[in-house]
Amino acid sequence: DAKTTQPNSMESNEEEPVHLPCNHSTISGTDYIHWYRQLPSQGPEYVIHGLTSNVNNRMASLAIAEDRKSSTLILHRATLRDAAVYYCIRGGSQGNLIFGKGTKLSVKP
């Protein structure tokens, strides 16, 4: 049980921002929120993670709701290379990471 809910698919235009939502309403106080993405024919790769505060790195930004029941991955300027399946995952106290179905992002030129 992934315990996160994401839309099955989303579309974006190249060079526009993309906001990928994730619901994790049963998250516990010590669970981190992780995002990974999987490009076609490749293994998943890390994007970003956080606990309570918003996080930024060179790939993306992670906005976490104040009640932590939802989060949004923000790609500031989508490129064709960002077309992938994006997974939102709860990092539980046991340390395992359970992947759900993810959101398939398509980027149109």
Partner 1 sequence: DAGVIQSPRHEVTEMGQEVTLRCKPISGHNSLFWYRQTMMRGLELLIYFNNNVPIDDSGMPEDRFSAKMPNASFSTLKIQPSEPRDSAVYFCASRPTGGNNEKLFFGSGTQLSVL
Binding site for partner 1 (CB under 8 A): 30-32, 34, 36, 38, 42-46, 49, 51, 87, 91-102
State the nearest-atom distance from the C-beta of 10 to partner 1, in Å: 17
Q: Min. distance of Cβ 78 from partner 1 in angstroms?
A: 22
Residue nearer to partner 1 on the CB measure, 81 or 109 = 81
Smallest distance, partner 1 to C-beta of residue 97, A: 6
Q: Around Cβ 92, how many Cβ atoms within 10 Å?
A: 15
Say if CB 73 and CB 55 are below 8 A apart. Answer: no
Angstrom distance (rounded) from CA 86 to CA 65: 19
How far apart are the C-alpha atoms of 13 and 65, rounded to whole Å? 26
Give 14 or 51: the residue with its C-beta nearer to partner 1: 51
What is the CB-side half-sphere exposure of residue 57 using CA atoms within 13 A? 9
Nearer to partner 1, 5 or 38 (CB): 38
Q: Both tokens of residue 77? A: 């300027």
